[in-house]
Amino acid sequence: MSQLLESLEDLRASSTILRRQSEALRQQKAPTLGRLAAAIETLGQNRPAKPLVCPDEYLRAWRERRAGGNVPLLPRAVRFLYWEPQVVLDPAFHSVLDEQKFTMGARGIQGLVRACHLRWAAFLADDTIQRIAVRRLRAYQGPNRVVNRWQQHAEMLLPADAPQELADWMLRDTRSLRDTATEWGLDEGTAFFTETMRRLLNGARAGWGQNRALVNYVCRTLLLWSGWALADLKEQVAECILHRDAQAPNVHEPLKAFIIGEPRFGDPRLPAKRTNWLGVRPEATRRLIEWLSRADIVFFFDHAFPKGGDPHLRKPFWLGYVSSRVVTRPLLNQDDFARLRTVMRQLGTEVGSFGHVMGMSSAFLLDFGDVCVIEFNRVGACYIYPRAVFDRVVPDFWYAGYFKERDLKRRELLPDNRYRIIHRPGWQAELARMLAWYGVRST
């Protein structure tokens, strides 16, 4: 019984303590939200504002006012209209703002600048809206760090040469595109940013011959920008391929690796990839095929011979023909393929779209259009096939299965013995005469 009484007393004491604590909490003043609101507002000063989607009712209200109506615009409507380019780039809208004594805050200025960048060409053609944009930016007085930075560096936002100024700033330290957009509060999807990217690529290409870091910046950052329209990307890739310094190995090797590995491009010689190259300047496509053919020739005649070396000096001979629109393909037999696996891994994209052949010898195909040549690495003769004959010998140049060596050596289909040339002294002149007969000449 005594234990029960002690337990009841403990419960009574606990109840009293809880009641007193509850009363004390009720007597405390309710916490104010002022500091929290101020903190939230402070956080917003460091970040670019997110674009607002303007409700249709506010657009209708503006159209009515634009048409001559006298109904004033509500502050809430104005906050949304700042993000509508067709409205905020209209001088009449700014006349209404002045008439109703609206002060454009940080969000409004960001909406205005974004609209200028979205319609960059039209903005540059309109002196009136240019003056208004500059006036609004200068007039801002507030803590927003994005707009404050714009005020300090207006030359990188609104003048006609602003894309060049921003591109030069980015190029100095090969800055990240996304980080730049975030840091400056810019929208990557604008015409202004696209123009900046064009200028940035031009600047990077101007120095990439002497700076490997710029080659990597172009291939691993600028060309991979998600904002490129496909037509613009194709034009930029063509500019890269045809650039005067792209012939240097330190430039064209990583550039070629990017292009071949990029799903939107790939090897233009392959039937499955040819449509990717529609819209690319033909001279750029031809230049890339030259690079690929050169790499095929170097690979085959440097590595595919079982005893090493090129005993007949065929590599320099064929390198003289890479500008003759030749399409090449190495065909490796099982022994050579197994032996060269390590070499191919090291070379990476330097080994083109090679195929396989069953037989004692690996083969090398050269397609010049009207005439085609097949070389072998374990025999001292090459076969020259006119186009019609070659199509019978090799019905599918890019066949994914195994070719047969005996099918590539069809002496009975040759027009005469001149079309099979043995690599003995004087073979270069003999082969050059045969190719010249078909209009194919070395450079």
Per-residue pLDDT of the chain (443 residues; tens, 9 = 90+): 444 444 445 445 455 545 555 555 555 544 444 454 444 444 445 678 899 999 999 999 999 999 988 888 999 999 999 999 999 999 999 999 999 999 999 999 999 999 999 999 999 999 999 999 999 999 999 999 999 999 999 999 999 999 999 999 999 999 999 999 999 999 999 999 999 999 999 999 999 999 999 999 999 999 999 999 999 999 999 999 999 999 998 999 999 999 999 999 999 999 999 999 999 999 999 999 999 999 999 989 988 887 767 888 999 999 999 999 999 999 999 988 888 877 777 666 555 688 999 999 999 999 999 999 999 998 779 999 999 999 999 999 999 999 999 999 999 999 999 999 999 999 999 999 999 999 999 98
211 plus 246 within the same structural domain: yes
- Residue 77's domain comprises 48-157
125 plus 195 within the same structural domain: no
Q: Which residue's structure tokens are 């980015």? A: 170
Residue 74 CB coordination number (10 Å): 12
255 plus 271 within the same structural domain: yes
User: Quick check: is 295 in a domain?
Assistant: no
311 plus 426 within the same structural domain: yes
The structure tokens listed for 78 are 């104005």
User: Quick check: is 36 in a domain?
Assistant: no
The structure tokens listed for 162 are 């602003």
431 plus 310 within the same structural domain: yes
User: Quick check: is 300 in a domain?
Assistant: no
- Domain finish residue from 99, 125, 157: 157
Beta bridge partners of 375: 364
69 plus 127 within the same structural domain: yes
- Domain finish residue from 133, 157, 181: 157
338 plus 352 within the same structural domain: yes
- Domain finish residue from 101, 127, 157: 157
Which pLDDT score is estimated for 342?
A: 76
User: Quick check: is 69 in a domain?
Assistant: yes
User: Quick check: is 392 in a domain?
Assistant: yes
Task: Tell me whether strands 355-358 and 381-386 are parallel, antiparallel or unpaired.
Answer: unpaired
Tally of domains in the chain: 3
User: Quick check: is 28 in a domain?
Assistant: no
User: Quick check: is 384 in a domain?
Assistant: yes
327 plus 389 within the same structural domain: yes
Residue 383 CB coordination number (10 Å): 23
The structure tokens listed for 13 are 């004491």
CA nearest to 325, candidates 279, 363, 362, 294: 294
401 plus 320 within the same structural domain: yes
120 plus 223 within the same structural domain: no
The structure tokens listed for 141 are 């007085």
95 plus 183 within the same structural domain: no
Sequence letter at residue 25: L
Which pLDDT score is estimated for 20?
A: 56
369: left (phi over 0), alpha (psi -120 to 50) or beta: left
Which pLDDT score is estimated for 38?
A: 44
Beta bridge partners of 332: 356
User: Quick check: is 286 in a domain?
Assistant: no
CA distance 12 to 10: 5
118 plus 215 within the same structural domain: no
Question: Using CB atoms within 10 A of its CB, is residue 426 exposed (0-12), middle (13-18) or buried (19+)?
Answer: exposed
